[in-house]
Amino acid sequence: MEPIIIAIDGFSSCGKSTLAKALAKRLGFAYLDTGAMYRAVTLYGIQKGVEVANLNDQEISKLLNEVEITFKPDPITAENITYLNGKPVEKEIRGKAVSNAVSEVAQLKEIRKRMLQLQREAGKNKGIVVDGRDIGTKVFPQAELKLFMTASPEIRAERRYQELQKKGQQISLEEVEENLKKRDHQDTHREENPLVKAKDAIELDNSHLDQDEQLNFVLRLLQEKFA
């Protein structure tokens, strides 16, 4: 099919990245994980021993000038790997410390402004699947297909818990639930581009759908829309 932009927004731990990666692979499109970009900035702040959320605009600008975020496919799995200043940090950015701080960092105007520039640059030639919180409303409002993903809080928490357990991270289900509640509130109440469903977005509640069913749902939408 012709190159288009597919924007996927939604709550944390809804499987946005999983669906976006599967779509990109099936369609031969590029994939951009915007959440990983904010996580990488958060991780850099932790590495530097500073709380990014407490910095002023000038300090944030200086910090961002020290950050280079790139994505490269894993030579074995072909999965996208996030690199921070030339080093792979995929495992580190998914850890508890980053997860607890990333929502506050992602609220900062200067950071969102810089990430917006990078994201739009990545999508200028289309043929890309992008997931995040404000893709269809702010980053790519002209996207040809917009999805808004959601699932029940209990199911999202269980999915996230199982994911972290597989990665060997020691955390309780209760901690995961509290983290998701906090992130949901911050994402939907932040001043800069809060999480909202775009008016022309198609909602996908995947509470009771497996990965194949979700992919097929979107492929059918594409076939109907661009047949």
Question: What pLDDT sits at residue 212?
Answer: 96
The CATH number given to whatever domain includes residue 196 is: 3.40.50.300
The boundaries of the domain holding residue 181 are 5-222
List b or e across 201-210, with b for residues whose CB sees 16 or more CB atoms inside 10 angstroms: beebebeebe
Is there a domain that residue 227 lies in?
no
pTM here? 0.83
d(CA 105, CA 149): 22
In whole angstroms, how far apart are CA 217 and each of 68, 175, 206?
35, 32, 10
Question: What pLDDT sits at residue 164?
Answer: 87
Could you tell me the mean pLDDT of each successive run of 10 residues in the chain, 227 residues long? 94 93 92 92 96 93 94 78 94 91 91 93 93 94 97 94 86 92 90 90 96 97 89
H-run or E-run covering 130: strand 128-132
Is there a domain that residue 167 lies in?
yes
Q: What secondary structure, in 3-state letters, does 204-216 show? A: EECCCCCHHHHHH
Alpha helix positions (H), 80-172: 90-93, 96-106, 109-122, 153-166
How many distinct structural domains can be found in the chain?
1
Is there a domain that residue 83 lies in?
yes
**Per-residue pLDDT tens for 128-149?**
999 999 999 999 999 999 999 9
Question: What pLDDT sits at residue 177?
Answer: 93
